[in-house]
Amino acid sequence: MKRQTLENPSDTSLSRVDGAVKVTGRATYSAEYAVPELVHAVLVTSTIAKGSITTIESREAEAVPGVLAVISHLNAITVPGWPPKKQPAERMPVGTAFRVFYDPLIYFDGQPVAMVVAGTREQAVHAASLVRVTYQKETHQTHFEKNIHQSGIAQNVQRSKNSPFQDYERGDAGALANADVKIEAEYTIPTQHHQPLEPHAIIAIWEAEDKLTVYDKNQGVKSAQGQLAQAFKVPRENVQVVATYIGGAFGSGIRVWPHTMAAVMAAKQLKRPVKLVLGREQMFTSVGYRPYNKQKISIGAGKDGRLAGIIHEGTGQTSMYEEHLERTVLASRALYASPHVATRYRLLPLDVGTPTWMRGPGDATGTFALESAMDELAYALKMDPLEFRLKNYAESDPERNLPWSAKSLRECYELGAEKIGWKNRLREPRSVKRNGMLLGYGMASSLYGFHRHPSKARAVMHADGSVTVQSATMDIGPGTGTAMMRIVSKVLGLNAKKIRFELGHSALPDAPGQNGSSTIPSVGSAVHAACEALKGKLIGLAREMPRGTGQEWSGVVRNGQVLGSGDDKEGISYADILKHHHLNELEVTEESKSGAERDQYSMYSFGCHFVEVEVDPLTCEVRVTRVVTCADVGAIINYKTARSQSIGGIVGGIGMALMEHSAMDHRFGRYVTTDFAGYHIPVNADVPPIEVYYIDKPDMQANPIGSKGLGEIAIVGVAGAIANAVFHATGKRVRELPITPEKLI
């Protein structure tokens, strides 16, 4: 078991390949491309949550010097890929993506209703303040708690028998009813927003009538390319999407959002490149959010600590026009060896924008409830919470009855417990003080399903023996290029200085978007395959070359050379191989995807978090004072950047547990927390030392590089671990996030 630290001399991690450009401010993000003739757009958004626009008074705005247009449903161009407009306008059927400037109907507060385009940002901002919109208001429903009785099974799930969101049951329901110890509790998580530090932004340029280039903040250039090509009915290759540097996203960039369409429409209409940068307040209504959700768990066990059954029900918020589904209740099927498990998942449509995936979607919320309930039950059983989990350790997948491809969660528990000093913890809640503060320790397990999508990578060996590897993958922050260079370096035996990795452009070979912790498993495998193929070609070419008597070129590469076999180890460099064969370049493109192994094994990443908190007995302020996190995600590709990703997940979990809450004023159906003063995310002083450990054992069933995803599992379970530590410190069980002081008084 490797226990690397950054200070460990054996750590061969690469520093971020884009480190120098990022620390000097030379990395170019979407809004920062210098484009001639660029004009600036500012959105005007709705001030009602439901109804329709009656008038848009834009003359005053249009009269502002520099203003080129005020665009709305009254004058926007027709998007060829959208259905013809109906007169009078009809509300979209469920399952329809929102179409900006399409008709006068309002579906949520903050919906774009008009857009001012002007020569400068100042002109556009001022003119946007002069646009007057009147509405025919209708009664809106935005209150989750008051409307939860309206929730139901998603239409999409009703139609699809194999949907994982179908009701699920295994084992004998009577087992739970007859369990020695039972608890039943409700858990609530309010709406939370991604709020990456870079606001979403786009520069849209129509190079010709049917040729579009966009610099757009998103998490998948290929998917954005496809969606834009479809909407504007132009050949796919005529649309290029560039997103080389992305200032964080956490899920907010998975879709093509209305503001992106608005900028592309305006650029077409005005025949000018258009830049649109969302304001921070618009980031609360324009790019999705983690949906408000409520869960109920009934869980019981025998006196021996063996689970009898779990019933996990969850309801999530969605919009009136789309069904956003999350894995909220799914963790309960696979995490523990419970003989009886039932899950039910419902949606509640409200007059709000559609939610989207936010880091650890479903699982981060679901494990808050499950891991809190496991903790409650452990206390009810008078058992140690860790011992209780070990007693119900799932040796194989209890949901699919398949062996795990790999699982070292037990080792994670052991390592984490040792590092935090779990055995010294007194079980009794509210029993220890340190410097006048109530001290508590909590833990939680985490898991995240394995996702691998078909991916391609191209590897090009140049005449000087350096290599360029390309794939249309993304880097929203984890350090994709750095990790890929590690893979290239290992396969080709090349120093990182001789490797270039290109990503974030739709002209590159197909790759999935960066989501679901799938980048390393998918694209990493493709890069591995491309480099293996390139290596094979180089060895083949070497073997065609003359060699001393009785000597052969080996199949081994090192230091940019194919080594000789036998006693004579002297090698021949890649550059010399290409030179001998009169090649300027040697290029291969490979695709990599899952095979039959997905039906033979159940694949997950696993992990656990141990948290120490201090709670002020007077003010009830909670401070996380120490975190130990341990993950089993197969092979760790680049320790330094992986560690940062784990730390980032913990920080996100601290926000989720203690502060993040998008509050809405339901009289208007409007968020009132629309900046960082209202919507709190962790600041430096909120974050304690975080210790990160990996089991680092390759899972060779999962893919050729033996590595599973890390991005999501880093946050899954964190909120539960903190809530459990708060209970241990205070004796108070908080089941509604965030855990703010008033809930502890």
Which of these ranges, 11-19, 296-304, 568-576, 664-672, lies near another protein under the rule CB under 8 A? Answer: 11-19
Query: Per CB under 8 A, does 533 bind another protein?
Result: no
Q: Provide the mask over 59-98, with x wherever binding to another protein is found by CB under 8 A and - wherever it is not.
A: -----xxx--------------------------------
Pairing of strands 307-319, 340-350: parallel
Out of 277, 334, 531, 722, point to the residue binding another protein (CB under 8 A): 277
Is 130 or 204 the residue whose CB approaches another protein more closely?
130
Least Cβ distance, residue 505 to another protein (angstroms): 18
Which of these ranges, 191-199, 377-385, 534-542, 729-737, lies near another protein under the rule CB under 8 A? Answer: 191-199
Alpha carbons 713 and 719: distance in angstroms, whole number: 12
Active-site residue among 62, 184, 712, 742? 712
Token pair belonging to 740: 């703010």
Alpha carbons 656 and 370: distance in angstroms, whole number: 16
Cα distances from 239 to residues 129, 264, 506, in angstroms, run 33, 11, 8
Which of these ranges, 142-150, 565-573, 603-611, 687-695, lies near another protein under the rule CB under 8 A? Answer: 687-695
Out of 69, 106, 127, 203, point to the residue binding another protein (CB under 8 A): 127
Pairing of strands 51-57, 670-671: unpaired
Out of 9, 10, 34, 546, point to the residue binding another protein (CB under 8 A): 34
Residue 357 backbone phi and psi in degrees, to 5:
-70, 130
Q: Are 297 and 184 spatial neighbours (Cβ–Cβ below 8 Å)?
A: yes
Least Cβ distance, residue 681 to another protein (angstroms): 6
Site for another protein in 359-398 (CB under 8 A): none
Out of 20, 177, 463, 672, point to the residue binding another protein (CB under 8 A): 20
Cα distances from 540 to residues 42, 530, 536, 544, 670, in angstroms, run 58, 15, 6, 7, 65
Query: Per CB under 8 A, does 540 bind another protein?
Result: no
Cα distances from 739 to residues 186, 683, 726, in angstroms, run 15, 17, 9
Q: Are 71 and 265 spatial neighbours (Cβ–Cβ below 8 Å)?
A: yes
Buried b (16+ CB within 10 A) or exposed e, 590-623: bebebeeebeebbbbbbbbbbbbbbbeeeebebe
Query: Per CB under 8 A, does 675 bind another protein?
Result: yes
Out of 9, 10, 25, 497, point to the residue binding another protein (CB under 8 A): 25
Which of these ranges, 313-321, 465-473, 522-530, 686-694, lies near another protein under the rule CB under 8 A? Answer: 686-694
Cα distances from 395 to residues 333, 338, 407, 415, 686, in angstroms, run 14, 11, 8, 19, 37
Residue 192's DSSP bridge partners are 290
Query: Per CB under 8 A, does 12 bind another protein?
Result: no
Is 478 or 564 the residue whose CB approaches another protein more closely?
478
Query: Per CB under 8 A, does 3 bind another protein?
Result: no
Least Cβ distance, residue 26 to another protein (angstroms): 7
Out of 164, 226, 279, 741, point to the residue binding another protein (CB under 8 A): 279
Is 129 or 565 the residue whose CB approaches another protein more closely?
129
Q: What DSSP line would sit under 439-493, residue for residue?
A: EEEEEEEEEEE-----EEEEEEEETTS-EEEE-S---SSS-HHHHHHHHHHHHHT
Query: Per CB under 8 A, does 684 bind another protein?
Result: yes
Alpha carbons 56 and 72: distance in angstroms, whole number: 8
Query: Per CB under 8 A, does 208 bind another protein?
Result: no
Least Cβ distance, residue 406 to another protein (angstroms): 27
Is 586 or 690 the residue whose CB approaches another protein more closely?
690
Token pair belonging to 584: 């300027």
Where would I find the H helices in 198-252? 221-232
Out of 11, 29, 175, 507, point to the residue binding another protein (CB under 8 A): 29
Alpha carbons 319 and 96: distance in angstroms, whole number: 10
Least Cβ distance, residue 355 to another protein (angstroms): 18
3-state secondary structure of 20: helix
Residue 607's DSSP bridge partners are 446, 631
Q: Which single residue is written with the structure tokens 């324009």?
A: 286
Least Cβ distance, residue 85 to another protein (angstroms): 34
Site for another protein in 35-64 (CB under 8 A): 64
Query: Per CB under 8 A, does 717 bind another protein?
Result: no
Alpha carbons 331 and 86: distance in angstroms, whole number: 43
Alpha carbons 664 and 672: distance in angstroms, whole number: 6
Out of 208, 596, 685, 745, point to the residue binding another protein (CB under 8 A): 685
Residues 6+ away with beta carbon under 8 Å from 40: 117, 118, 119, 120, 121, 123, 124, 274, 275, 276
Query: Per CB under 8 A, does 282 bind another protein?
Result: no
Out of 143, 296, 593, 640, point to the residue binding another protein (CB under 8 A): 640
Residues 6+ away with beta carbon under 8 Å from 206: 212, 267, 268, 271
Query: Per CB under 8 A, does 690 bind another protein?
Result: yes
Q: Omega of the bond prior to 88 within 30 degrees of 0, cis?
A: yes
Query: Per CB under 8 A, does 474 bind another protein?
Result: no
Query: Per CB under 8 A, does 245 bind another protein?
Result: yes
Query: Per CB under 8 A, does 648 bind another protein?
Result: yes
Least Cβ distance, residue 365 to another protein (angstroms): 19
Is 477 or 571 the residue whose CB approaches another protein more closely?
477
Residue 602's DSSP bridge partners are 404
Which of these ranges, 276-284, 368-376, 539-547, 656-664, lies near another protein under the rule CB under 8 A? Answer: 276-284
Q: Omega of the bond prior to 738 within 30 degrees of 0, cis?
A: yes
What's CA 172's distance to the chain center, in Å? 36
Out of 350, 383, 534, 681, point to the residue binding another protein (CB under 8 A): 681
Say which DSSP state 545 is in: S
Out of 352, 647, 657, 723, point to the residue binding another protein (CB under 8 A): 647
Q: In the annotation, is 399 catalytic?
A: no
Alpha carbons 32 and 27: distance in angstroms, whole number: 9
Say which DSSP state 292 is in: P
Query: Per CB under 8 A, does 672 bind another protein?
Result: no
Alpha carbons 242 and 224: distance in angstroms, whole number: 10
Out of 644, 673, 707, 730, point to the residue binding another protein (CB under 8 A): 644
Q: Are 218 and 191 spatial neighbours (Cβ–Cβ below 8 Å)?
A: no
Least Cβ distance, residue 650 to another protein (angstroms): 7
Query: Per CB under 8 A, does 110 bind another protein?
Result: no
Least Cβ distance, residue 673 to another protein (angstroms): 12
Least Cβ distance, residue 423 to another protein (angstroms): 26
Alpha carbons 4 and 641: distance in angstroms, whole number: 13
Pairing of strands 604-615, 437-449: antiparallel
Site for another protein in 149-168 (CB under 8 A): none
Residues with a known catalytic role: 712
Interface residues with another protein (CB under 8 A) are 6, 15-16, 18-29, 31-32, 34, 64-66, 120-123, 125-127, 194-199, 245-248, 250, 277, 279-280, 476-479, 640-641, 643-645, 647-652, 675-677, 681-687, 689-690
